[in-house]
Structure 1
Amino acid sequence: MISRSLMRRPPSRALPPGVLFRRVAVPVAIGLALMIGGIGPAPREAGAAGSVVVRAAAGSVRARDAHNRRVRVHNQTGWTMTRFYALAARSSARESNLLGVEALASGGSWALDLDDGSGACVFDFRAEFANSHTLIRQGVNVCHIADYYFTR
């Protein structure tokens, strides 16, 4: 038998007439994490075991189109990835190592957001490995994929 106190309805959270939304306080760290797609310090945050999440674009600059430029890079080479570069195919900008001081072990994955506000969808990827091998993939359309697999 359920007691009468458990059967009571919770107080109504209905909004007063004319109010379209209720303001909710969110701690700044969580609010920033939600804007970049996960919980953790920006720009680098912990992901699932063996993964790293990085926001490649600095600040909150976003392209005005509706394309999602988030892609998860999977290392299935059997080698440890020590550096990763992604450069818009039509760009002449200098590229920087997006892995930073991290390394991506074989079998690991890494999520990043390549939206830099330019509207670019096609990127060239370059991965460097601990054994001095380099793999280059040109013309990767990150607006049409969610995962990219590096294999030998």
Structure 2
Amino acid sequence: MDVVALVGVLLSFAAAGLAAWQARQARQSAWQVASLNHQIAALDRETDQFRDDLRNAFTALGALRTEGDMVALVASLSLLQSSPRATAGVVKAGEELVAAMSGAFASPPKSTSKSATVSLQAEARKVFKSIAEEKARLVTARDLQRRWPWSRSTGNG
């Protein structure tokens, strides 16, 4: 009878230890999923900000009629260039666009504004592609964590 009681106590301790380990793993998995969700939400906010800044820059470019309108263009491009998602290519293309548009009011006008605009559009496409790839990686890591909570994937690698 003492052996049966001893086995019962040992099994009880083992079951309690296993339950505690599983609860810890579940908390850790939930934290990792929440962390990935926060990263995805932050990426979405940065994407929206970049898209709005890009739209404002092209709106200012389209409204450019006089040299006085350059202020709005320079301001909107400055906001675009300071976006957390702006790359060195976006910054350079914005600077080239300002220089080209400033030259448009020179005598004789310079005709480099179209290539500067195309360059900014190309750089913006690269940024959006990079954002899409990063979001896909984060969503995959989050979904993997939901399906296989014991995996150690954090989406950072």
TM-score category, normalised to shorter length:
under 0.3
Q: Which of the two has greater strand per residue?
A: 1
- Using the size of structure 2 for normalisation, the TM-score is 0.23
Question: TM-score, normalization: structure 1?
Answer: 0.23
Q: Which has the higher helix share?
A: 2
Which structure: larger Rg?
2
